[in-house]
Amino acid sequence: MTPALVLRNLVKFFGAQSILHDISLEAAQGELIALVGPSGCGKSTLLRIIAGLERADKGSVVLDDVDVTDLRAADRDMAMVFQSYALYPHLTARQNIALPLAMRRLNSFERMPLIGGLTPATREKRAAIMRDVERTANALRITELLDRKPAQMSGGQRQRVALGRAVVRRPKAFLMDEPLSNLDAALRVHTRAEIVALHREAGVVTIYVTHDQEEALGMADRVAVMMGGRILQIASPEAIYHNPDHIDVASFIGSPKINLLPGHVSDGTVIHAGRPLKAGLGGSDRKVTIGIRPEHLHLTTDVTQHSIAVELNRLEFLGSEVIAHLTDPSDGSGLIARLQPGEGHTFRDHTTLQASASTQHVLVFESDGGRARADDNHGRGMAHHAA
Amino acid sequence: MPRNWAARTGMTAFDRRERSAAWMLCAPTALLMLALLILPTLAVLALSFTDAELGVREFAFLGLDAYRDLFTDRAFLGAFRNTAVYVALVAPASVILGLILAMMIEAEVRGRAFFRSVYFLPVVSLTVAMASVWQYLMHPSFGPMNLVLKALGLPSVNWLGSSDNVLVALALIGIWQAVGFNLVLFLAGLTAINRDLYAAAEMDGVRSAWSRFWTVTWPMLGPTTLFVVTITMINAVKVFETVATLTQGGPSKASEVLLYTIYKEGFVYLHIGVASAMAIVFVGVLLVLLLIQTKVLEKQVHYS
């Protein structure tokens, strides 16, 4: 199957400042791709270039096998949902949702308020638009809001109307620019599921921009992590989380953040504080950074060959999990371990514990940030916690 | 129980202290408003029902007859009509011109501050001083405006000297004065429009600049436009300096406007009673304009 949306080598400068460096991406029909990254990483600019609201300095955008690079946004047949909702405040919800249909189905004469509705053909077109608006409103359960103006609605209601305006004309792609950022936390989780449902129902490409890694992991078929104008990695949420290609991806994705420890490779073995944590790495002896996710850090009181000594500062009971705040005495840096609720109640604050992780959960990054992958067939797991 | 005690007396000591403090804080402003605004207005209202003249000891109470006389006075009706014509020329032209110029300046990033200052200059310049410049510009024989007309092969116009077009000439000066002010207000209104709305309109298929204007710009400028329209009309109704310096109401009363007529009745002919009645009508016109702004139109243009 040919991809529905293709971005080829997009480059963007603002003045002398480079915003996007050579962005390429292929999205399949019906795929939801999340562009996630810290603010200023270029994700919104990329979305606006896909939309046609901004021009790339180099590269092309191809939608359904048509090169749309030189088409303006109005001619690309994509719909966009904005963080600010961008509803027309002087129009009712009904008029807001009807506007994209009126713009495409009626000519400028037919759009005129009074004389436009004189001929039966135009009246029929207008009635069809109103039927489509009603159908969309039904699907989004906003029928009772149709005669209200945006000022008379809550943030969540406005966002539903904005979604309605996007889906009503069945575009070839949905572009969403942080659509949930202005909603409160409970509503955000609820609306996430609804956007995914709308996306599946429409069956077209959705590009979803967010700075919230949880939103990206929870909604997307594939997540593209952007930093400094580059896509560092694009992969399924599981792969992004468990198998990051870059140290910046590992530390941006995941909450609490991944633990990063200094280490070095000696004879193919990764060593931290004198303890071997992972073997089977190729290459010369060098300094590396070791990443271990909090839930993979296992705490015991028994010393093993592969465990590192840590000091427990405090246990934080959070109901479904327990967070252990630790200090690594080798350099005084803080570590975090995530325990099951039953675990750890025998540990006392300010005592020394042993932390370990199974080999496949020890991620090693080179000094340039790239991932150093071990040949795991040769790896020696930690005796007590080999998965 | 302190609560019951408070309920019985209706007011605690704290409430009383707070109330007297509030009165004391309001007092300076309230007294000044009373002395300088409310009492004089009431005095003018009282005088408007009389035939008082400055220097004449006794005067008669005419009551509503004073107003009946006023509305049958051809000079006053002429001034009323001239003012209306002047407002009808200045307000729409300066509002539309201000909007067009504001959109042109807004569209161009470079030189925005420069053009804004240039167009705002007439607002801060002294009208009385500028009047002599206009007198020169509009001079029938050597004024540059007529020289331009002559160069274009058009007949020259006696701008300020002919009763047929003296109001148009004054309106031109009025427009020149008002455009800069309106432009700055419209610029502020344009800057306040959420850029996302233009992006949304583009995504929705709004292609031409014309439909973009009617879909986003014009509705979003509603509150600004209402303010600009009323403030321009009020300022136009108050036209005085150009008339006083350039035409003195002439030729043959063709440029007599309300404020100039009031001034002449009151300070030249010393007909205090008549001038007061005219002033009351004048204030009434301004109040109606203000009322239109605050009540009738506000509902339609504010979105919250």
Residue-level length of chain A: 387
Do the Cβ atoms of A229 and A56 come closer than 8 Å? no
Pairing outcome for strands A333-339 and A352-356: unpaired
Nearest to A103 among B206, B220, B304 (CB): B206
Token digits of residue B236: 């136009």
Kindly list the residues from chain B whose CB atom is less than 8 angstroms away from the CB atom of residue A174.
Answer: none
Kindly list the residues from chain B whose CB atom is less than 8 angstroms away from the CB atom of residue A73.
Answer: 199, 202-203
CA distance B195 to chain A (A): 9
Token digits of residue A318: 């959070």
Query: Hey, are the CB atoms on B203 and A48 less than 8 Å from each other?
Result: no
pLDDT of B208 above 60: yes
- What is the DSSP code (8-state) at residue B61? B
pLDDT tens sequence across B109-160: 788 888 888 888 888 888 888 888 888 888 888 888 888 888 888 877 778 8
Domains and CATH numbers, chain A: 5-242 (3.40.50.300), 256-378 (2.40.50.140)
Round the average pLDDT of chain B to a whole number and report it. Answer: 85
Quote the pLDDT of residue A334.
92
Residue A371 DSSP SS3: strand
**φ/ψ of residue A63, rounded to 5:** -120, 120
Kindly list the residues from chain B whose CB atom is less than 8 angstroms away from the CB atom of residue A86.
Answer: 194, 196-197, 199-200
Give Cα B268 to chain centroid, integer Å: 25
Paired with A314 in beta bridges are: A325
Quote the pLDDT of residue B2.
52
Quote the pLDDT of residue A116.
63
Residues of B with CB under 8 A from a CB of A: 194, 196-197, 199-200, 202-208, 211, 215-216, 219-220, 222, 303-304
Query: Hey, are the CB atoms on A149 and B303 less than 8 Å from each other?
Result: yes
pLDDT of B168 above 50: yes
* Exposed/middle/buried for residue A187 (C-beta within 10 Å: 0-12, 13-18, 19+): middle
Could you please state the CATH topology (level 3) that the domain comprising B66-301 is classified under.
Answer: MetI-like fold (1.10.3720)
DSSP per residue over B33-44, as a string?
HIIIIIHHHHHH
> A49 or B292: whose pLDDT is higher?
A49
DSSP per residue over A224-286, as a string?
EEEETTEEEEEE-HHHHHHS-SBHHHHHHSSSSPPEEEEEEEETTEEEETTEEEE----SSSE
Helices and strands (H, E) in chain A, number of each type: 8, 21
* Interface membership of A100 toward B (CB under 8 Å): yes
Quote the pLDDT of residue A101.
93
pTM given for the model: 0.80
pLDDT bucket at B296, cuts 50 / 70 / 90? low
Quote the pLDDT of residue B3.
54
What does the pLDDT average to over B65-71?
Answer: 82
CA-to-CA separations, A9 to A20, A47, A60, A176, A335, in angstroms, rounded: 9, 14, 7, 22, 39
Helix (H) or strand (E) holding A9: strand A5-14
Helix (H) or strand (E) holding B170: helix B166-191
Query: Hey, are the CB atoms on A103 and B222 less than 8 Å from each other?
Result: no
pLDDT of B54 above 90: no
Strands of A269-272's sheet in order across? A275-278, A269-272, A259-266, A286-292, A363-365, A371-372
Strands of A333-339's sheet in order across? A298-300, A352-356, A308-317, A322-328, A333-339
What does the pLDDT average to over B52-70?
Answer: 79
Angle at A308 between CA A305 and CA A313, to 5 degrees: 150
CA distance B214 to chain A (A): 11
Helix (H) or strand (E) holding A107: none
Query: Hey, are the CB atoms on A89 and B220 less than 8 Å from each other?
Result: yes
Quote the pLDDT of residue A378.
40
Token digits of residue A160: 């539903």
Quote the pLDDT of residue B69.
80
Residue-level length of chain B: 304
* Nearest in space to A374 (alpha carbons), one of A385, A363, A358, A386: A363
CA distance B222 to chain A (A): 9
Alpha carbons A374 and A283: distance in angstroms, whole number: 10
Alpha carbons A74 and A71: distance in angstroms, whole number: 8
Kindly list the residues from chain B whose CB atom is less than 8 angstroms away from the CB atom of residue A82.
Answer: 196, 199-200
* Nearest in space to A373 (alpha carbons), one of A293, A311, A288, A282: A282
Token digits of residue B66: 């004073």
DSSP per residue over A108-144, as a string?
TTTTSTTGGG-SHHHHHHHHHHHHHHHHHHHHTT-GG
pLDDT tens sequence across A58-106: 999 999 999 999 999 999 999 999 999 999 999 999 999 999 999 888 8
Token digits of residue A166: 């996007």
Do the Cβ atoms of A308 and A354 come closer than 8 Å? yes
Do the Cβ atoms of A144 and A93 come closer than 8 Å? no
Q: Is the peptide bond before A256 cis (omega within 30 degrees of 0)?
A: yes
CB atoms within 10 A of CB A364: 19
pLDDT tens sequence across A257-273: 999 999 999 988 999 98
Query: Hey, are the CB atoms on B203 and A99 less than 8 Å from each other?
Result: no
CA distance B103 to chain A (A): 20
Q: Is the peptide bond before B251 cis (omega within 30 degrees of 0)?
A: yes
* Nearest in space to B255 (alpha carbons), one of B174, B177, B167, B171: B167
DSSP per residue over A38-75, as a string?
STTSSHHHHHHHHHTSS--SEEEEEETTEE-TTS-GGG
Quote the pLDDT of residue B90.
95
Do the Cβ atoms of A276 and A305 come closer than 8 Å? yes
CB atoms within 10 A of CB A104: 13
Helix (H) or strand (E) holding A288: strand A286-292
Residue with tokens 């005796």: A383
pLDDT tens sequence across B263-290: 988 888 888 888 888 889 899 988 988 8
What is the identity of the amino acid at B192? A
What is the sign of the dihedral through the CA atoms of A195, A197, A199 and A201?
negative
Domain boundaries, given as residue ranges, for chain B = 13-48, 66-301
Token digits of residue B5: 């005690």
Do the Cβ atoms of B49 and B66 come closer than 8 Å? yes
ipTM here: 0.84
Nearest to A89 among B199, B206, B303 (CB): B303
Q: For residue B216, what is the nearest residue in chain A, using CA coordinates? A: A88
Query: Hey, are the CB atoms on A103 and B202 less than 8 Å from each other?
Result: no
The phi-psi region of residue B248 (left if phi > 0; otherwise alpha if psi is between -120 and 50; otherwise beta) is: left
Nearest to A73 among B197, B202, B220 (CB): B202
Angle at B146 between CA B141 and CA B148, to 5 degrees: 135
* Interface membership of A104 toward B (CB under 8 Å): yes
CA distance B219 to chain A (A): 7
Query: Hey, are the CB atoms on B200 and A82 less than 8 Å from each other?
Result: yes
Alpha carbons A355 and A155: distance in angstroms, whole number: 46
pLDDT bucket at B242, cuts 50 / 70 / 90? confident
**φ/ψ of residue B302, rounded to 5:** -100, 140
Query: Hey, are the CB atoms on B196 and A104 less than 8 Å from each other?
Result: no
Give Cα A82 to chain centroid, integer Å: 16
The residues near A83 (Cβ < 8 Å, ≥ 6 apart) are A177, A178, A179, A181, A182, B196
- What is the DSSP code (8-state) at residue A204? S
Per-residue pLDDT of chain A (387 residues; tens, 9 = 90+): 678 999 999 999 998 889 999 999 999 999 999 999 998 899 999 999 999 999 999 999 999 999 999 999 999 999 999 999 999 999 999 999 999 999 888 887 777 766 666 788 888 888 899 999 999 999 888 999 999 999 999 988 999 999 999 999 899 999 999 999 888 888 888 889 989 999 999 899 999 999 999 999 999 999 999 999 999 999 999 999 999 999 999 999 998 999 999 999 998 899 998 888 888 888 889 999 999 999 999 998 888 888 899 999 999 988 889 999 999 988 889 999 999 888 877 888 899 999 999 989 999 999 999 998 876 444 333 333 333
Residue A94 DSSP SS3: helix
CB atoms within 10 A of CB A9: 13
